[in-house]
Amino acid sequence: MAGVIVAVVIAAVLLITLARAVRIVPQARAMVVERLGRYHRTLTPGLALVVPFVDRIRDRIDLREQVVSFPPQPVITEDNLVVGIDTVIYFQVTDPRAATYEIANVIRAIEQLTVTTLRNVIGGMNLEATLTSRDQINGQLRGVLDEATGKWGIRVNRVELKAIDPPRSIQDSMEKQMRAERDRRAAILTAEGVKQSEILRAEGEKQAAILRAEGERESQILTAQGEAKAIDTVFRAIHEGNADQKLLAYQYLQTLPQIAQGQASKLWIVPSELTGALGGLGGLLGGAVEAAAVKPPGREAPAAKSPAATAAAGTSPAVTHPNPTPPAAPDHDQG
pLDDT (tens digit per residue) in 172-221: 777 788 888 889 999 999 999 999 999 999 999 999 999 999 999 999 99
For residues 69 and 234, the model is more confident at: 69
Measured between alpha carbons, how far is residue 23 from residues 13, 132, 161, 285 in Å?
A: 17, 52, 41, 151
For residue 63, what pLDDT band results from cuts at 50, 70 and 90?
very high
- Helices 245-260 & 273-293 angle (0-180, nearest 10): 100
Fold of the CATH domain 66-166: Tetrahydropterin Synthase; Chain A (3.30.479)
**pLDDT at 250 exceeding the cut of 80:** no
pLDDT, tens digit (0-9, with 9 covering 90-100), for 100-129: 999 888 889 888 988 898 888 888 888 888
H or E segment to which residue 39 belongs: strand 38-43
* The pLDDT of residue 323 is above 50: no
> 278 vs 256, 273, 281, CA distance in Å?
13, 9, 5
Backbone angles phi, psi at 66, to 5 degrees: -115, 150
Measure CA of the first residue to CA of the last residue in the chain; give whole Å.
168
Is residue 28 within 8 Å of 93, Cβ to Cβ? no
| Over residues 159-179, mean pLDDT | 81
Tell me what the mean pLDDT of segment 18-45 comes to.
Answer: 90
Neighbours of 100 (CB within 10 A): 22
d(CA 230, CA 83) in angstroms, rounded, equals 95
What's the CA gap between 134 and 142, in Å, rounded? 12
Neighbours of 208 (CB within 10 A): 10
pLDDT for 305 beyond 50: no
C-alpha span between 44 and 324 (Å, rounded): 152
Q: Is the pLDDT of residue 311 over 50?
A: no
Residue 139: pLDDT over 70? yes
